[in-house]
Structure 1
Amino acid sequence: MEWINSLNQAFDSAQTSLERLDFAEISSDHRIEFAEVFMDVKAKLSRGLAAHRKSQLPASTAANSTSIDITNNADLSFRSRKPRLPNLEIARFHGSYSEWPDFLATFTTVIGNDDELSDIEKLQYLRSSLGGVALETIRSLEPSNANFKKAMNLLVNRFDNKVLHFQAHVQAIFGLKGVEKGSSKGLRELSDCMNSHLRAIRTLANTQQILDGLLIHIVTRKLDQRTREKWEEDLSITELSTWDAMESFLEKRCRMMVNLDQALETQTSGQQKMLKALRC
């Protein structure tokens, strides 16, 4: 048993060295595949040793050891299956704000709260569950126990944003495809997607905030590029915008543009009078 445990440590050391040399190794399934084979072999070896020891015991003690063997084997079987738990499906996260809450909850439940996994193993699972900009966010972190929490903090700071989650769901609602005539499948997909986004939005905002958010989205799509940029500059990064704020912004923007137009007209009129006087 000591030999097989040392083999596990040797593999872990070798795989870690490979991952430091080539980041592509991080997203490979080598660790998972080895863990499955390792625990399966260890379980069979343990059962074999237990059976051998029992055969060496006197008949009187063999019966008494039966319940212990059953308990040990059941516990061993559970432990041998434990590393397989992270193989549960975790949808890969590529950086979509609307998908972050579900990904975080699933990953935390399946991987993050598993006390039998070391932090470096959790980091490997995390890397293999990411793609796109999400993976780029933590790519520079080397595989180590200390860097798992750093990686999670980086992702939370980047993607755990109530405002961006809300906006992503609103944009998704307005981006839903129309239903083709007579398509029951299309109608079902539209209904399911709409309800899914609404359920998510209701966890982020109350009814008035949802209404304001929908109105703001409709109006901002009608604005010119410069006005939209000015509106975005004034937005809070932590609190949802209100229609009152949008109304105030539009009023302020209108006044400013009217004043600029009047100033331009006055300047143009003055220049025309000056040119006329010079010609006389």
Structure 2
Amino acid sequence: MRKFSVPSLSPPPYPSQAAISANNLQLPPCDTEVFRGDYSSWPTFRDLFTAIYVNNTRLSYVEKLFHLLRKTSGEAKEIVSKSPLTNQGFDLAWANLKATFENKRVLVNRQLKLLFALPVIRTESASALKNIQSNINGCLAALAMYDIDVSNWDPIIVFLCSNRLPETTLSLWEQTLVDKAAIPLWSPMDTFLTQRFRTLESITDVRCPSPPSTSTYAFQQQRTAQQHQNPSGRRNFHTLPTYRLQHNVFYAQSNNMFCDFAKNV
């Protein structure tokens, strides 16, 4: 008997993720904001400009300097414009920018000012709690990026944040502490703030009054107009409705209302 071999069925090859990204995925253009000489925005501008322009092998050095002139203004542009628009000028301009704004002490002081100048929250507000939480986490992340060890800053951060919280939120935070004599950590407080502003958002959403209906709003507007026309509240007989007969139907007419009364015949 003749034997037949069955060919093995293998799934069709799928394109790699790199091929999919290169052929189908259209990413929006990535570019930097104009750098105006702000110390706080320098790290972001430095890293983005390096990734997009400095490391771009298709650009010549004079083209990189041209883009650097376009992406700077104010004091930063004055520093860049002092270098000649040549291939040798880019390295000089980029080095001068780094020498001027790569000031770790100033960058750290900016973050410390933000941290110690957190606003005091007077009312129970979800947005205010989110802002103070994001500001603290942002400052801690920036300080860690500048090689500042903030791993032991929990007592300082918790104390600063507690002094800015409203009374009810602070009371609820204290209730979460099992050991009142222990030094609390920032991580549990960070989690508590997230739960707290979500609770406030839910309460606001539930208790938010529904807008008045169109008929109710029109009636209120009519009553307000009548009160302005007759603020004393006395009955004005000149505005009483008048009646007239037409086609076996009584018509009652006033300044604000028309009524029809069928005549009994």
TM range (shorter): 0.3 to 0.5
User: Which structure is larger by alpha-carbon Rg, 1 or 2?
Assistant: 2
TM-score, normalization by structure 1: 0.41
TM-score, normalization by structure 2: 0.43
Which of the pair is proportionally richer in helix?
1
Which of the pair is proportionally richer in strand?
2
